[in-house]
Structure formats: C-alpha cells, structure tokens
Copies of this chain bind each other. A is one copy, B any other.
Amino acid sequence: MKYVSFDGEPVIPQHEFFMNEALKEAHLALEANEIPIGAIIVANGRIIGRGHNLTQRLNDVTAHAEMQAFTAATNFLGAKYLQNCTLYVTLEPCVMCAGAAFWTQISGIVFGAHDLMRGFSRLNMPILHPKTILQGGILEKQCSTLIRDFFATKRKS
C-alpha cells in the first residue's frame, strides 16, 4: 500500500514514522556496541521519551530500551502513568518490559521485529494491561536485520 498526501507527495504512515525514530535510538545503541534495540514513547503525536539498550554500559541486564524510555517519559510528564501514550520499540518486548508496561498502563505498544525466543507474547498470557493495544511487525525487516547483523559481526570477531 502506498500513502500519498493531498498534493501527491508520499506520506510515511504514523507507525512507520515513529518506528524510524525508534530505529534511530537502536543505531545509537549500535554505535555504543550495544545490542541495537531502540524505543520511544509518543503522546499526542509528540515524542516524550527515548531510550536504547544500555546493558553493557550500565553493567545492568535490566537496562533495556523500553525501561529507559518509560523512565524518560514519566520524568517528562511528571506523572507515573503513561495513559494516552504509545511505546514504539524495534524488538518485541521481553517479559520484564511487558510487565513494566503493565504498571505504566500505557495505551499502546507497537513493536518492529518479533522475538520468538524472548518475546513476551510467546507465553500467550495476559501480561499487558487490559487497556493496552498491541501491534507488531512495523518495519520488521529493518528492525530484525539490524539485530541479526550485529550478532553476525560479533560471531566473526
């Protein structure tokens, strides 16, 4: 499907636009030699939180992109909950991050690549908040290629 604006120019659909922003965060992780996963939080069309994987730099296996983004967004809002916000993340959240999303009561989660090994949805359990709408597979190829290439390079070195 191709999107065009009223004057005929191609339009990037909202989900793809914001996933590209999450991909920019993933590239920041890559530059820091971290597993390239990025996340942003959007409220009313505005990015209010950003994060990328920092597990190596912080020496903390819980320092996932989503956790950084949740904290950044709540700091920005001065509120504990992320109702009316959407998380965009390049990889399907793990159980920890899905559990964290539950506590934030976030309205939407949009992820890029599916994670058949560690993604929370493999459990097929109601981990997310009942109000959270989930959508996966946005820019899946770009998101998954970035991670796959990272590990392929690591194995060679």
A interface residues, Cβ below 8 angstroms from B: 55, 59-62, 67, 70-71, 74-75, 78-81, 94-100, 102-104, 120, 123, 125, 127
Contact = CB atoms under 8 A, between A and B. Distances in A.
B60 A71 contact: yes
Contacts of A104: 61-62
Nearest to A120: B99
Task: List 9 tightest A-B contacts by C-beta distance, closest first.
Answer: A96-B99, A95-B99, A61-B103, A96-B100, A62-B100, A123-B125, A61-B80, A99-B99, A96-B96
Summarize A's interface: helix, strand, loop or mixed.
Answer: helix
A74 B99 contact: no
Number of chain copies forming the complex: 2
Contacts of A95: 95-96, 98-99, 102, 127
A63 B97 CA distance: 13
B80 A71 contact: no
B78 A71 contact: no
Given A96-B102, A98-B95, A62 B55 contact: no
Contacts of A60: 70-71, 74, 80
A80 B53 CA distance: 14
Nearest to A62: B100
B78 A59 contact: yes
Given A95-B95, A95-B127, A123-B125, A103 B62 contact: yes
